[in-house]
Structure formats: structure tokens, C-alpha cells
Structure 1
Amino acid sequence: MEVIIKPEANDLAPVAADIVERLVLRKPAAVLGVATGSSPVGLYAELGRRVAAGRLSLAGCRAFMLDEYVGLAADHPQRYRNVIEQELVARTDLVSERVLGPDGLADDIPAACAAYEQAISDAGGVDLQILGVGSDGHIAFNEPSSSLGSRTRIKTLARQTRIDNARFFGGDVAQVPTHCLTQGVGTIMAARRVVLLADGEHKAEAVHQLVEGPVSAMWTATALQWHPQATVIVDEAAASRLALHDYYLDVYAEKPGWQE
């Protein structure tokens, strides 16, 4: 696992965008895994600036969303498909029709989840998965105690997750859906490259567990310790509990130029 520590939250997006840009320049038809929440917003804005400047194009890419709320109306502003349209598609030249998410309005939820897994497989798998991490250490909506081998399925949201996400619903926890469809930990681990962004002191314990804690279903992000190419990009506040903080700084500073 590569750990990159930057001074401030605003410093994370350019580092992550560099990784995306290098991939797309090498493989214009790359398959991207895209996340919602606050962590990747800066990255999407940076990708938009690079597309506008003519140094990057996502027009040949496909994208698969991590998750979707169950039961939110198609026009609800917090439906994750609408969030991705606003935060990523509208800012770049990524083609809307080439972005697919789990169907949170499906009549047959198990069939919809199986179809989503098949769609990812048919696309050749995800080349680069963008992730955030919850304060309780979850990735996507794989709440504590989720199977580390899980695939796309319905999940009940933890109380803490609904509290954390209430800020997107006017601060009213009661408006946050109780269920979601989410890629499983096993689905995420199948991506060829994973890039996780986290900032703020409230993420420090989750980052500590993710990077240095034991692999455990209680902190589902710790499964990424098994991933062959996972990069964790954090600010100093989120890195404040890392025991090997200074070592990670040294490793990144001395990283060979040829090493991706």
C-alpha cells in the first residue's frame, strides 16, 4: 500500500488527478470506478480543469458508480446518479450514457445487483477505482461487519453513516434512506488500481485502521491492505494517528521516477 501525505486537503486532488491522467493517456478507453461523498469532489473539479485545458479527455472512458440509495426518486438531487452527473460528468467530457450505476429503483433488487456485477465484468473490469472512507472505516457502503468477499448487494446503512450523510439532506437524519445498493468489498478489490482519498481529523482513526490496523470486517477499508496496487492520499489531519507517518513521507519523497 502506498501512503501519500500532503499538507492540506486541497493538495490531494492534483495527486489523484495525476494518477487518473497517466492511466487515461496510456489507455484512453479506461474503465473508471467513481465514488460520491465529499472526498472525491476536489478530484472531479481538478479533472474538469484539465479537460477544459485540453490536456485530458475522458470521452473514451466508461465509469461505474460505487453505490446508490434505494428508493430515492429519479429526480432527487441526492440520488447518486444525479450527484455524479453534476460533480463529474458536467465538468468533463465523460459521456453520460457511458456511466452506469446500481439501480436503486429496481423492482427486483437481487437481479439488479447481479446485472450490475455482470456489466462490470462485460466491460473488462475496473481499471481505477476512486474511493473515500467513512469515519467508521467503511468503503462504498460496506458497513462494519460486511463480508470482505462481498459483491454488489443491498445493505442497511449504519446509524453513524446516516448521521454523517445528513448534511446532504438539510441536516435531517430522517430524510437519509435506510438502504442502499453497493459494490461489495470483493467487487472493489477486483479493480486493478485503487486510489482512496481522505482528509480531516475526523477521518484519522479510520485512516490509521485502514493503513496500520489488522485486517477486519469491522473496518472494511482494511481489506485494501491485500490489494496489489492501492494508493491512499491523505492530508496531515487525516494522517495524524499514523505510527509510521515520517516513514511514509520518506518513501514518497524518495520514490523512483520510473515507479508508478
Structure 2
Amino acid sequence: MRIVVLKNAQAVAEFAANHIIALLNKKSHSVLGLATGSTPIRLYKQLIQANEQKKVSYKNVTTFNLDEYLGLSGTHLQSYRHFMNHYFFDHIDINKEDTFLPKGITSDPMLACAEYEKKIKEKGGIDIQLLGVGSNGHIGFNEPSSSLASRTRIKALSEDTIAANKRFFAVDEFQPSLSITMGIGTILESREIILLATGSNKAEAIRNTIEGPVAASCPASILQMHQHVMIVIDEEAAQNLKDLTFYKHIERENQRLASSSYCDLEA
């Protein structure tokens, strides 16, 4: 697990964007796993800017999002399809037919889950999966108590997650309590994972993710078991880490080695 602690949220976005751009310029037909939420928005702005400046192209890229609300169509303003179009896809040279999200409206949600898993495999699997983390340690909509081997499935949202998202819905508007989400087992099959977290409200979740035991009570803690994980966080999100000084030292050494000819770094 590589832990990168940066000054602020903007630095986190720039670092992660540069990492993704480097992959796409090396492998133009990459498959990206994407996330919604407030944290990735700065990252998407950086990726859009790079596209506008001709530093990267998304013409051959395929994307899979982590999740979608069950019961919302892709045209609903609070759907994750709308989010992705608004904050990313509408502003880059990607073919939208190659951008996939779970179906929020479907007559057979269980079949839709199986088809999503099948589609990921047909495209060769995910090269880099982008993650945020909830304050309770959830990744995607895999709330605490989720199976650490779970596949794409229907998942009830926790009361905390519903409350956190309540501000996005009008008082008299239907707010979903169910989602379709990639499972933790699905996420772990990605070749590389990047988790972004910023702000003091994520500090406890980050501590549990990095330094806590691997447990379903903090779904993100399973990332300790993945060979190629990078946790990119700002100082506020890092403030509860017991071994913060050590992590910063290791990253400085990583950067020194990366600039030399010694070896390719492994997380």
C-alpha cells in the first residue's frame, strides 16, 4: 500500500490526475473504474483540462462506474449517470457508448448486476479503479457489514449515507434507499486502485483503512490486501494516522527511487 500525503485537496487531485494520464498515454485502450461524490470533482476538472490541452485523449477509453441509485433514471438530476455526464463525460472526447454505469431503472435488478459483471470481464477488466471513502469506511455503496468477497449487487444504503445525501433531494422528492454497486470482490479484481480522501471528516475512516484491522466494519480496510493500492490524501484526512511521519518518509524514499534507475516501485 502506497500512502501519499499532500498539502490540500487540489494537490491530491493533480497528483491522481497525472497518474491516470500517464497510464492513458501508455495504454490508450485503458479501462477506468470511476467514482462519484465531491472528492473526485477536482480530479475530473484536471482530466478535462488535460484533454483540452491535448495532453491526453479518451477516445479509446472504456469506463465503469462503481454504483448507481436503484430507482433513478439516467436523466434524473441526482443519478450518477447525470453526475458523470455533467462533471466529466460531456467535456471530453470519450465515446459515451463506452461509459458504463449500473442500471438504475430495470425490470430485473439481479440480472442487471450479473450483466454488469459480465461486461467488465468482456472489456478485459479494470486497469485503475478510482475510489472515494465514506466517513464510515464504505467504498462504492458497500456499507459496513458488506461481504469482503461480494460481487455487483443490490445494496441497502445505511442511515448515515442516506442522511449525508439528503441535501441533494427536494423535501418532497423520492430519495432512494437502495443502490446497485460493484462488490468489494469486484473492486479487488482491478489491476490498480487509487483511493482519494480529503478533509478532516474522512480522518477516522482513513485511519481505519490504513492502520485498522481488515474487517467488514470498515470495508475500505480490505484494500490492505491488494498488491497495487495507492492512498492519496491531504493533511486533514491524514491527521489521525499514528505512523504519519513514517508514511511521509517512505514516500520520499519512493520518489527518490522513482527518479533513479534502481527499480520500478511496487505498492
What TM-score results when the alignment is normalised by the length of structure 2?
Answer: 0.94
Tell me how far apart the structure 1 counterparts of residues 122 and 182 of structure 2 sit (CA, whole Å).
16
| Alignment map for 1:84-163 (pairs within 5 Å) | 84-163=84-163
Tell me how far apart the structure 2 counterparts of residues 52 and 165 of structure 1 sit (CA, whole Å).
32
- Provide the residue aligned with 1:243 in structure 2: 242
Does the residue aligned with 2:29 lie in a helix, a strand or coil? Answer: coil
- Provide the residue aligned with 1:231 in structure 2: 230
- Provide the residue aligned with 1:66 in structure 2: 66
Residue type of the alignment partner of 2:238 = A
Q: Greater CA deviation, 73-82 or 109-118? A: 73-82
Tell me how far apart the structure 1 counterparts of residues 40 and 264 of structure 2 sit (CA, whole Å).
24
Moved over 4 A (4+): 172-175
Tell me how far apart the structure 1 counterparts of residues 5 and 191 of structure 2 sit (CA, whole Å).
22
Contact 1:162–1:173 (8 Å) recurs in 2: no
Contact 1:129–1:195 (8 Å) recurs in 2: yes
Contact 2:73–2:104 (8 Å) recurs in 1: no
- Alignment of 1:208 onto 2:201: no
Q: Give unmatched runs, 5+ long, in structure 1.
A: none
- Alignment of 1:259 onto 2:255: no
Tell me how far apart the structure 1 counterparts of residues 166 and 91 of structure 2 sit (CA, whole Å).
25
- Alignment of 1:52 onto 2:52: yes
Does the residue aligned with 1:180 lie in a helix, a strand or coil? Answer: strand
- Alignment of 1:78 onto 2:78: yes
Does the residue aligned with 1:177 lie in a helix, a strand or coil? Answer: coil
- Provide the residue aligned with 2:13 in structure 1: 13
Contact 1:198–1:234 (8 Å) recurs in 2: yes
Q: By how many angstroms is 1:173 displaced?
A: 10
Q: Greater CA deviation, 72-81 or 149-158? A: 72-81
The alpha-carbon distance between structure 1 residues 117 and 246, as it changes in their structure 2 partners (threshold 3 A), is same
Q: By how many angstroms is 1:73 displaced?
A: 3.1
Q: Give unmatched runs, 5+ long, in structure 2.
A: none
Residue type of the alignment partner of 1:30 = S
Q: Greater CA deviation, 2-11 or 134-143? A: 2-11
Once the two structures are aligned, what percentage of the paired residues are identical?
A: 40
Q: By how many angstroms is 1:174 displaced?
A: 7.1
What TM-score results when the alignment is normalised by the length of structure 1?
Answer: 0.97
CA RMSD for the aligned pairs?
A: 1.3
Contact 1:163–1:173 (8 Å) recurs in 2: no
Report how many residues are paired: 259
Residue type of the alignment partner of 1:59 = K
Residue type of the alignment partner of 1:207 = I
